[in-house]
Structure 1
Amino acid sequence: MRDTIQTRRRTGIGASIAVALLGLCLAPASTASTAGTTAAATTTAAAGDRGTGWVRSTLARMTLEEKVGQLFMTQAYGETADTQAPADVALNQSTYGVDNGAELIERYKLGGVIYFAWSNNVNNPDQIAGLSNGMQDAALDQKRKIPALVAADQEGGIVARVGPPATELPGNMALGATRSTEDAQTAAAISGTELEALGINWNFAPVADVNVNPANPVIGVRSFSSDPTLAADMTAAQVRGYQDTAGIAAAAKHFPGHGDTATDSHTGIPIIDHTREEWETIDKPPFQAAIDQGIRAIMTAHIVVPSLDPSGDPATLSKPIMTGILRQEMGYDGVVITDSLAMQGVRDKYGDERVPVLALKAGVDMLLMPPKFDLAYNAVLDAVKSGELTEKRINTSVKRILRLKWDLGLVKDPYVDVSDVPSVVGTPEHKAAAQELTDHSTTLVKNDGDLLPLAPEDGQSVLVTGGGIAGTTAKVADKIEQRGASADVLDTGTNPNEAQINAAVAAAQTHDVTVVVSYRAWQGSYAGQRELVRRLTATGKPVIAVAVRDPYDIAYYPEVPAYLATYSWTGVSLESAVKVLYG
């Protein structure tokens, strides 16, 4: 594995991102957009002939099996591409019949891989960079020497596959709360630069869904806004940050728009009842903005939109949506990748053998994480051999995929320099910028009687109660104590019972102020939080609710005197929350 190889983009990366971020802070969004678009156009024009030639010559030499392999992206278990760790080998064997990622690429000639924590891919920055280099080694060891796309879902906020010591950044709704396209672009530039240093050349972000349904179980704070215009502006800004500044591919998701659902497509088939006019007004604008900004990829949604396709097919499998609307009406000719094909929303109607074939017939290019990989791969091969799919149709998608790899510079050099990782990932400059971005986003929704800010010098005792994710209450208390105040913790979880509520109320009576952490209290399964906040408020003691995910919780306990929304439970979000508490 090539751990320390010099690469095309590592030289002076710290200085270059610093200059880029300074420019983003000083220049209006329109200036950054024009500069980025001009630079991209110049680069593309200069490389156009060579890129087209490489794509054509490579495609002409490929077998059908190699072409079909390029259409697939999936996860491989393990910290390294050639792992021999027993647990990872067992998972790879049960899933694919191979030991590791290198063997997976060898067997299927994959177009790319995707990283997750649960597949043991993202344990620390040096490991991730080494894994990426190992995957590229495996890809270039194949006869055609086609580099691999390496992807992750690094949206920011609550969805970040690469965690600390990489920089934690605010998610979409937090950025949307700032109304600042400069902030959105800066966050994407930082995130994309760190991903690029790790060998992750494709980020499945930004989320372009317009969250007009507060009860949306799967999008929520992953969306910039319920305002289509704001969501479109922020989406375009992040495309600039990821692609023009950081040099990786972005993917706007989930087309044609997952923002007005009450069903999670991981577990069922959402039906969007927007009229065609409503879709044009609400859902379309962010995706069109991404396309106009030069987005390199679009990810599909496993949703049914009868006004766009009355057949009842999920959008991923719908030719009227994927070809008729996305490609023909909206003018998009880049890569289209499915959301995970293991999600129930795409599996229910046709089954795992038919889904990949129907997706390609609809106009999709890449197939992400089919649950039965060998079945899916062979289903596509068989469809070509039977004539249901033509090889010309396969070639169309393979050309787009190869072109993406060329445009990302992977053909010239797909490797990263592991020794450069500490100077790029999680640097003090990035973390300071991320904290400033997050401070801009934390929202004080209600402050009756000017309860906030608190004064640590007053010697007030603080109870931190409620629940959240990964020890949120304890983390809040620790940050309060760092400011010189006294804080006690009584964690009641995300759905407290009567005994837990009574204990919290009793504890509140012995403290001067109560901070109650709220996590998706609007959901029925977490309804105990509503009663907890109501009962705490009824004590007459000062109560401050801190919503660490969806900002909608206050609708279920409007009597609380003070309420702030952080949109996330990450360290930077909790730090910002405590800054608001104490001014």
Structure 2
Amino acid sequence: MHEWSLSRRTLLTTTAAATATAATGAGDRRAFAANVRGGSERGLKALIARMSLQERVGQLFVSRVWGHSATQPNQLCADLNVRDFGVRSANEVVGKYHLGGIIYFSWADNVRDPHQIADLSNGIQSAALAQPAPVPLLISVDQEHGAIVTRIGKPATQLPGAMALGAAESPSAAREAARIAGAELAAMGVFQNFAPVADVNVNAANPVIGIRSFGSDADAVAQLVAAQVRGYQGAGVAATAKHFPGHGDTSVDSHTGLPRIDHTREEWDRIDAPPFRAAIAAGIDCIMTAHVQVPTLDPSEDPATLSHAIITGILRKELGYDGVVTTDALNMQGVRDKYGDHRVPVLALKAGVDQLLYPPDLSLAWNAVLGAVRDGEISTGRLDESVLRILRLKEKLGLFRDPYASPRGVERTVGTQGHLAAAARIADGATTLLRNNAGLLPLRLGRGNDLLVTGADPASPTGTSGPPTALLARTLGELGFTTTALSTGTEPTEARIDDAVLAASGKDAVIITTYNVSAESSQRTLVARLVATGLPVVTVAIRNPYDIAHLDGVGAALASYGWSDVELEAAARVIAGRVKPRGRLPVPVQSAADPTQLLYPVGHGLTYE
């Protein structure tokens, strides 16, 4: 049991008074709070009028911080805070820059367990409310779920990712997944999630979106995006549709370069725009920009994040969106290639953005915006417009009334049996059976009882139980099979392939995990060598579902759309026949020999009799 000595309400009312500065007394703090009580537009504007220029600029920034504690980070994190921000703790970073938001990362030691996360949230909220203008923080995380973008792991509920939800073809399941995720985040004091992904993945070679997208059909993606918006926001967490104006048809990763999308305006309206229109119609709280060029929408070829034509001209005016717009992370190369880091935040604000997410150098970015306002490049009216949108969202989320998490809320909400059961049920509906020659699946006890589980083991997502081969073997073992796990990696060597063939001797069947198989991949050799043994071979594509196009002779093929525990455990249940496969491909699979030929269409999926 984790205990805090102060209740949520006591924390809210005592922290600011206890840390009042000489410049602003407790009475002034109460006046600030009174200005926004009831959530009136007039009250929010009055609050802005009393904020200093530095405090208003600070509201625009969402920064990372180092450490698991707001006041007592470990020595390494303290040193990193000094290196990056000139102060030792998260609280001091908030105070120095008057931040409007913080984003959590596992690699920054912000995320250990739900109680610690809630404690960190409460600590930095206390620091925000101790400022001369006590405005609560909007604490955020990038928690898309699935295998690729998950920051908070077990014991929080792990849910299937976007493409798995696309395969389930159930808006109600997508909404339930978002409601569960949102409720658990709110219980930990996190009130903004950078999800759902609204990109339509029409490019099988997309290196950065892929299974983070619900699929390739714009209307289906739009339905699921809207469902997730309603799920998150119904749970009291701001959803963020990303990445506007669309990142689904790129072959360059915007983390490392500047992608270019050559859709015509008609193609953009038909392919990329529908999910964002649906998100806006569903009342989306926030939209994230993409660091991509779309010459049809802006001939200047500026990244969309910095494009007035795209952000103000299309998103604000054409689509009628007046909520918060946030940048994608400003440390990504796609937004840094054309302009220096000191110009990027200024240009983003001039384009129509409100939140400036994760600048690589907070001091440089903060001072650049401050200087641009002082010099008149950005008017105070333009600055206040963004600050007002951010404060409106904070008021809508109830942060002015009570921004704190409670131990009881964590215990009653995070990782409950009901949430875990729902996650498993949703995952069961997503697993897709692509091929099943001669009714190989399901494997029955007594027929295929002794299994080799081998293949690719990419880096495990945050909070998972281990490598995919080990997890699949363990789960199949719990279902009654005798299993041996042998990892060969995503690029198996000849020696490792030989080991797998030797390990297959005497087995009844082989399960192979595959990961982004290409024409040149040595995973193809692994599969071919194991098929040549004459044993029944089942492949499980644990990332993109396109692998089967490169794998000849396989008896059965599944797609799990991820390698998180919940996705792989569902695949094991399908292999064992405990549940029937019900998933349907949300993207097409083209023939590897002739990409103009369709191997499996959208909607393909087999089941058992």
TM-score calculated relative to the size of structure 2: 0.87
1:507 pairs with 2:524: no
Corresponding residue number in structure 1 for 2:544: 550
1:528 pairs with 2:522: yes
Aligned-pair CA distance for 1:503: 2.1
Q: Which one of the candidate residues 63, 71, 91 is aligned to 2:60?
A: 71
Corresponding residue number in structure 1 for 2:599: none
Q: Which one of the candidate residues 548, 570, 579 is aligned to 2:573?
A: 579
Range moving further from structure 2, 76-85 or 171-180:
76-85
In structure 2, C-alpha distance between the alignment counterparts of 1:371 and 1:224, rounded to whole Å: 30
In structure 2, C-alpha distance between the alignment counterparts of 1:97 and 1:367, rounded to whole Å: 20
CA contact (8 A) 1:149 1:202 kept: yes
Q: What's the CA shift string for 1:200-228, capped at 9, x where partnerless? A: 00011100000001111111111001000
1:184 pairs with 2:174: yes
Aligned-pair CA distance for 1:153: 0.9
CA contact (8 A) 2:166 2:221 kept: yes
Corresponding residue number in structure 2 for 1:252: 241
CA contact (8 A) 1:7 1:416 kept: no
Cα separation, partners in 2 of 1:516 and 1:186, compared to 1, 3 Å: same
Return the letter of the residue paired with 1:211. N
Q: Which one of the candidate residues 90, 99, 103 is aligned to 2:92?
A: 103
1:567 pairs with 2:556: no
Corresponding residue number in structure 1 for 2:214: 224
Cα separation, partners in 2 of 1:7 and 1:537, compared to 1, 3 Å: farther
Corresponding residue number in structure 2 for 1:413: 402
Aligned-pair CA distance for 1:48: 11
Corresponding residue number in structure 1 for 2:22: none
In structure 2, C-alpha distance between the alignment counterparts of 1:516 and 1:225, rounded to whole Å: 24
Corresponding residue number in structure 1 for 2:581: none
Corresponding residue number in structure 1 for 2:586: none
Return the letter of the residue paired with 1:283. D
Corresponding residue number in structure 1 for 2:444: 455
Corresponding residue number in structure 1 for 2:603: none
Q: What's the CA shift string for 1:98-131, capped at 9, x where partnerless? A: 1111000110000000001011011000000001
Cα separation, partners in 2 of 1:7 and 1:166, compared to 1, 3 Å: farther
Residue identity (%): 54
Range moving further from structure 2, 463-472 or 490-499:
463-472
Aligned-pair CA distance for 1:457: 3.2
1:399 pairs with 2:385: no
Q: Aligned runs of 1:363-378 on 2, under 5 Å?
A: 363-378=352-367
What SS is found at the alignment partner of 2:40? helix
In structure 2, C-alpha distance between the alignment counterparts of 1:338 and 1:390, rounded to whole Å: 20
In structure 1, C-alpha distance between the alignment counterparts of 2:501 and 2:145, rounded to whole Å: 35
Aligned-pair CA distance for 1:459: 6.1
Range moving further from structure 2, 155-164 or 428-437:
155-164
The count of corresponding residues between Structure 1 and Structure 2 is: 542
Range moving further from structure 2, 392-401 or 456-465:
456-465
In structure 1, C-alpha distance between the alignment counterparts of 2:166 and 2:73, rounded to whole Å: 44
Corresponding residue number in structure 2 for 1:242: 232
Q: Aligned runs of 1:117-516 on 2, under 5 Å?
A: 117-158=106-147, 159-244=149-234, 246-458=235-447, 460-469=449-458, 470=460, 471-516=467-512
CA contact (8 A) 2:448 2:509 kept: no
Corresponding residue number in structure 2 for 1:5: 7
Q: What's the CA shift string for 1:47-90, capped at 9, x where partnerless? A: 99743122111101011111100010011111111124201101
CA contact (8 A) 1:3 1:417 kept: no
Aligned-pair CA distance for 1:2: 6.2
Q: What's the CA shift string for 1:212-257, capped at 9, x where partnerless? A: 011111111110010000000000000000002x011000000000
**Runs in 1 of length 4+ with deviation above 6 angstroms?**
none
CA contact (8 A) 2:193 2:239 kept: yes
Structure with the largest fraction of helix: 1
Return the letter of the residue paired with 2:490. T
Corresponding residue number in structure 1 for 2:594: none
Q: What's the CA shift string for 1:355-392, capped at 9, x where partnerless? A: 00000000000100100110101111111122211111
In structure 1, C-alpha distance between the alignment counterparts of 2:5 and 2:212, rounded to whole Å: 34
- Structure 1, unmatched stretches of 5+, are 9-46
Corresponding residue number in structure 1 for 2:101: 112
Q: Which one of the candidate residues 538, 543, 547 is aligned to 2:532?
A: 538
CA contact (8 A) 1:71 1:398 kept: yes
Q: What's the CA shift string for 1:131-175, capped at 9, x where partnerless? A: 110111000000111000000011111222110000010111001
